């Protein structure tokens, strides 16, 4: 799971950097703003926690922290992006790039949290099975 955390971190960094570059280029009428980098900031934290989780001694704590960061990223992205979704779909959005970036971050973080929960459940079942057989 630490390598998957690193992967999601790097994907979020790429999303933020490309979103900022697109805004700087004026894609969809966007103007450059540091807020376009929010997915990258979340990605840096996830990548850092994924790197820490490579150490066996702190893996459990780092992965739980990564899941919490992912949950916050999902909630923040959904909270900021979902209200703009109707206008985006109608083609009347003032900031279509911002809505797309925040919703993309929400989906990526949501998938990450789902995979974390599955991993935590699998680890618990594995520990219980090992304890039962011993």
Kindly report, residue by residue over 80-115, the tens digit of the pLDDT. Answer: 999 999 999 999 999 999 999 999 999 999 999 999
* CB neighbour class for 132 (10 Å; exposed up to 12, middle 13-18, buried from 19): exposed
- When pLDDT is averaged across residues 8-29 and rounded to a whole number, the result is 93
**pLDDT tens, position by position, 118-130:** 999 999 999 899 8
pLDDT for the residue numbered 131:
85
* For the chain, domain boundaries: 2-133
User: Model's pTM, two decimal places?
Assistant: 0.91
Name residues whose C-beta falls within 8 Å of residue 13's C-beta, 6 or more positions apart in sequence: 39, 40, 43, 44, 47
pLDDT for the residue numbered 134:
64
């Amino acid at each position: 799971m630490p390598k998957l955390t690193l992967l999601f971190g790097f994907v979020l960094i790429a999303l933020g950097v490309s979103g900022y570059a697109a805004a700087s280029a004026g894609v969809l009428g966007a103007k450059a703003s540091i807020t376009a980098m929010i997915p990258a900031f979340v990605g840096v934290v996830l990548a850092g926690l994924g790197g820490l989780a490579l150490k066996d001694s702190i893996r459990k704590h780092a992965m739980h922290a990564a899941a919490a960061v992912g949950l916050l990223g999902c909630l923040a992205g959904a909270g900021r992006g979902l209200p703009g979704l109707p206008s985006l779909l109608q083609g009347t959005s003032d900031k279509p790039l911002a809505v797309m970036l925040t919703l993309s971050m929400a989906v990526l973080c949501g998938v990450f949290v789902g995979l974390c929960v599955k991993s935590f459940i699998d680890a618990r079942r594995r520990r219980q099975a090992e304890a039962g057989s011993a």
